[in-house]
Structure 1
Amino acid sequence: MSELYALAAACRHAEEIKKSRFLAQAAPVAHAAEALAFVHDVADPTATHNCWAYRIGQDYRFNDDGEPGGTAGRPILQAIEGQGIDRAVVVVTRWYGGIKLGAGGLVRAYGGTAAECLRRAERQPIVAMARLVLHCEFAELALLKARLKDWSARIDNEDFDAGGVTLHIGLPATQAEMAIARIADLSRGRIQPTRLDLP
């Protein structure tokens, strides 16, 4: 599977095509509700059309907002996929300029404006993450926390109890097995992390 990228920040790109103005606005999103909120926030009610698409993993949606079926939302989605982008939403707003573009022209205008916006965007690789859970004694906590940065790991949750602390850790999947082995070594086998992301 080829590498996927997320947008590092929101971006925008404007073009004029046969007197119609097109404005593409894209943003990174983590879930569908966030994507739809972005669509709602940036859609211009004075524009002729606000067409959009998002892809978040296997979840995707698109909308032609009154343009002929298949001429706006789907080309925007294809631009997202064609750029290898995931976890993103793109809204392309059109202000009609009086010249009809035809179905092929609309596909090129919406898809092309979205693709150019994404081409110019700052992006970062999406890293597959693993999740570990482990329990350690208080005396081992400082050493463990010090080592986490060696594995590009972060603590997602800490639950303290009388015997110590349970840590939920997120780290790149490529580091997981090595981290599990190192934690077992550091604790002389007392700490046995469990992966939560595997079936």
Structure 2
Amino acid sequence: MPAAPDAACPVLTLAHGRQPETDLEVKRSHFLARAARTDTEAEARALIAEVRAEHPTARHHCSAFIIGVPGAQPVERSNDDGEPSGTAGQPILEVLRGTGLVGVSVVVTRYFGGTLLGTGGLVRAYSQAAAQALDAARRARLVTRYLWDVRVPVAEAGRLEAELRSVPRDVALAVEETVWGATHAVLMLSTDSPDADALTALLASVSQGTAVPQAAGSRLIEQPC
């Protein structure tokens, strides 16, 4: 799972789904690059294997990824895949670091064009290829929503749900779901803060003090940038 952000500082990442593949030509060598959302090391390595399978005749599939770890520093890895040490994977990783993105992998596939580029040329080419792929990719931010269960009598649930759905947008309250039982219903709410005070006061005002929120964890939602 990606690292959980706090509400004031969302994690920047890429949107789920296939991203564009870019093509950089340098002295007849082609550097095909793709960035992708990868929330775990396993997903990152699966992406590298997928790209390798799509381009089986290419000489090199160089890569880097940054994976968020809850409560710890992100995991960073890079691979030169046969290119001279430090000329491919590390430059890709440096470009990725510079974006501030987490939960992202970049794979750059090189089709050799017959002309040696030298170490400096390789660093520039892999850096530029990575930057092009990241610029072309659709970005997103991960925001924490805090979940609350509110148990109310069935006779009151419909009215309370309607009132809560009409709360002004600046309150940042959402009714996620209502689960109906024989005598009681549970309103599942979400807020952008773990502080229950404001929600408790709001519920008290619309239920004459009978509706009380119970913390029910949190989840990450993806929002486009």
Aligned with residue 114 of structure 1, among 113, 123, 130: 130
Instruction: Give the C-alpha shift of residue 194 in structure 1.
Output: 2.3
Q: 2:32 aligns to what? A: 23
Counterparts of 1:54 and 1:172 in 2: how far apart (Å)? 29
Structure 2 spans left out of the alignment, 5+ residues: 1-7, 69-73, 219-225
Aligned with residue 186 of structure 2, among 133, 148, 165: 165
Q: 1:35 aligns to what? A: 44
One-letter code of the match for 2:42?
Answer: A
One-letter code of the match for 1:37?
Answer: A
SS in 1 for 2:97: helix
Q: Is 1:68 paired with 2:75?
A: no
CA contact (8 A) 2:31 2:129 kept: yes
TM-score by length of 1: 0.77
One-letter code of the match for 2:36?
Answer: A
Q: Is 1:47 paired with 2:62?
A: no
One-letter code of the match for 2:84?
Answer: P
Instruction: Give the C-alpha shift of residue 12 in structure 1.
Output: 1.5
Instruction: Give the C-alpha shift of residue 81 in structure 1.
Output: 1.9
CA contact (8 A) 1:136 1:166 kept: yes
SS in 2 for 1:80: helix
Q: 1:133 aligns to what? A: 148
Instruction: Give the C-alpha shift of residue 3 in structure 1.
Output: 6.9
Q: Is 1:7 paired with 2:14?
A: yes
Structure 1 spans left out of the alignment, 5+ residues: none
Instruction: Give the C-alpha shift of residue 157 in structure 1.
Output: 10
Counterparts of 2:10 and 2:66 in 1: how far apart (Å)? 15
One-letter code of the match for 2:144?
Answer: M
Q: 2:214 aligns to what? A: 193
One-letter code of the match for 1:68?
Answer: P
One-letter code of the match for 1:56?
Answer: I
In structure 2, relative to structure 1, the CA distance for the partners of 1:80 and 1:179 (3 Å cut) is farther
CA contact (8 A) 1:144 1:183 kept: no
Instruction: Give the C-alpha shift of residue 85 in structure 1.
Output: 2.2
Q: Deviations over 1:27-77 (max 9, x none)?
A: 122322222212111222211000111112212222111112221112112
Instruction: Give the C-alpha shift of residue 184 in structure 1.
Output: 4.8
TM-score by length of 2: 0.69
In structure 2, relative to structure 1, the CA distance for the partners of 1:132 and 1:75 (3 Å cut) is same
How many residues matched? 195
CA contact (8 A) 2:161 2:175 kept: no
Using the aligned pairs only, state the percent identity.
Answer: 35
In structure 2, relative to structure 1, the CA distance for the partners of 1:13 and 1:160 (3 Å cut) is farther
